[in-house]
Structure 1
Amino acid sequence: MGKRGYHHGNLRQALVEAALELIEEKGPTGFTLSEAAKRAGVTPAAVYRHFSGREDLIAEAARQGYEIFGDLMQYAYDSGQPSALAAFEATGRAYLAFARRHPGHYIAMFESGVSVNHSPELAAASRHARGVLEKAASDLSQHIPPEKRPPASMFSAHIWAMSHGVVELFARNSPGTQSPFPADELLETGIGIYLRGLGLIPPDT
């Protein structure tokens, strides 16, 4: 791909977009700031006007990813209302959709080794995205007696982990790994088993 260049002060975003392309192509540790600068059409020295190093650049890509992810999760949650179950299931599907549509952001967020506490802005974006799923879990579990109800944070963490596992193992073409079922179906049935175990949906007849 040719140089994208920049104008009118959008160098920062041009560098993020260049980094996202390189992350997809080479992984989060497989490129240098010089390569990102070249892809953006600027000199390496120009990068340091905006980012202190590669980790700082990747952290900004992750922050933007969490913003997109949070918005997508919120839209899915809102679209599933007024049914708490439909809203909850929609957020699970949104996780897979995000990983497929935004692989560079996904890698920056979850596979780069950059902490969500790298900056206050990144931490806030991460909390917002996780908060949507936690709200969906809380809504869905309201009719469970309080003494038997799992904390919403634990409930949502289980589903987050399941979604992440399906993405990592079966939705991103892991070498040598192939699921006998579509990733969407695998996640949907897994969530169904989990929810039945909590008594949130009736057993299959």
Structure 2
Amino acid sequence: MARERYHHGDLRTALLDAAEALVRERGADGWSLREASARTGVSPSAAYHHFASRDALVHALSERVLARLGDRLIHACAAAPSQGADPLQRLIALGRSYIRWAVEDPAVARLVFRAGATDPDSVVTPHPHEVLGAELDRFAAAGGLSAAARPGAEFTVWAALHGLAVLLVDGLVHTDDERAADLQVERLVRAVLAGLTQEETPSAGWPALRSAHTRRLAGRQPGSEPTTRGKR
């Protein structure tokens, strides 16, 4: 019965589910496409109809996880205090959700943020940094960021949040409980945004940062990447 269901189109999802479970059990590199196939009850040759290699499976899994994270961040912003109307509280809620996700699911988080997990051909909707960008636009429109401070702010905020996430996940810093972590995230977000409002922008502007996501948005044309917005 299971094999017949996979034959009719469920195998791709089943392989992704199996791969995600293996990542949680063994880490990003401690498993094979053959093992993922065995968990779904099919042969490796059947899996190859959907994924040409283990790397292709990891790539697809990374896209799925990032889209799921994007949805999570959207919901966190909407559920922020004041019914999600305060742009600053929405950004704080986004930061808290990001940190909790990384701490709760560290193996999967490590997988999707490693180099090569996604590339300019990856289609991720909603992308986490599109969510972050929209929230920074909302914050800027409310007067929280100047026009000069807005360009590239995604990368600055992401760097701070991701740095804290890595420190917590790797056990280099510790908090007493989730409440303490939430307060630390709030302090971090407020500090970064305050710093952005007070920075002195170089006359030529800040250098552009790029990622697989920004290269995709730019159509992978040399020199055409956005210089005012950065998304993973």
Q: TM-score higher than 0.5 here?
A: yes
Moved more, 75-84 or 105-114: 105-114
8 Å contact 1:64–1:105 — kept in the other structure? no
Q: Offset at 1:69?
A: 1.0
Q: Which runs of 5+ in 1 are unaligned?
A: 201-205
Q: Deviations for 1:123-143, whole angstroms, at most 9, x for unmatched residues? A: 3437x3211101111221232
| Aligned match of 2:66 | 66
What is the RMSD of the two structures over their aligned residues, measured on CA atoms?
2.5
Opposite residue 18 of structure 2, the aligned amino acid is A
Aligned to 1:188: 186
* Counterpart-to-counterpart distance in 2, 1:180 and 1:145: 33
Give the counterpart letter for 2:191 in structure 1. I
Distance 1:51-1:178 versus aligned 2 partners, 3 A rule:
same
1:16-31 equivalences under 5 Å are 16-31=16-31
- Letter of the 1:30 counterpart: G
- CA–CA distance in 2 between the matches of 1:31 and 1:58? 11
Counterpart of 1:161 in structure 2 is 159
Q: How does 1:115-134 map to 2 (within 5 A)?
A: 115-117=118-120, 119=121, 122-125=122-125, 128-134=127-133
Tell me the residue number matched to 1:137.
Answer: 136
CA contact (8 A) 1:29 1:112 kept: no
Cα distance in 2, alignment partners of residues 101 and 125 from structure 1: 22
How far 1:6 sits from its partner (Å)? 5.6
Distance 1:78 1:185 in 2: 19
Which of 173, 186, 192 does residue 178 from structure 1 map onto? 173
Identify the residue that residue 85 of structure 1 maps to in structure 2.
88
Quote how far apart the aligned CAs of 1:52 are: 0.6
Q: 1:88 to 1:34 in 2, by over 3 A?
A: same
3-state secondary structure, aligned to 1:125: coil
- Structure 2's unaligned 5+ residue stretches are 199-232
Between Structure 1 and Structure 2, the one with more helix by share is: 1
CA contact (8 A) 2:32 2:54 kept: yes
Letter in 2 for 1:17: D
1:110 and 2:109 equivalent?
no
Over 3 Å counting, the alpha-carbon distance change for 1:74 and 1:40 in structure 2 is same
Instruction: Tell me the TM-score normalized by structure 1.
Output: 0.78
Is structure 2 residue 5 aligned with structure 1 residue 8? yes
Deviation at 1:56, TM superposition (A): 0.7
Do 1:84 and 1:136's aligned partners in 2 also have CA atoms closer than 8 Å? yes
Q: Deviations over 1:11-66 (max 9, x none)?
A: 11111111111112222222111111122222121110110101110111111112
Q: Output the CA distance in 2 between the equivalents of 1:107 and 1:39.
A: 22
1:103, distance to aligned residue in structure 2 (A): 4.2
Return the alpha-carbon distance in structure 2 between the equivalents of residues 145 and 113 of structure 1. Answer: 34
d(CA) in 1 for partners of 2:108 and 2:4? 23
* 1:151 match: 150
Where does structure 1 differ by over 6 angstroms across 4 or more consecutive aligned residues?
A: none
Give the CA deviation at 1:7. Answer: 5.1
String of CA shifts for 1:155-194, please: whole Å, max 9, x gaps.
Answer: 1211111111111111x2x26x232564433322111222
Query: How far apart, in 2, do the equivalents of 1:160 and 1:13 lie?
Result: 30
* Residues matched between the structures, number: 186
Residue 33 of structure 1 corresponds to 33
**SS class of match (1:111):** coil
Letter in 2 for 1:72: R
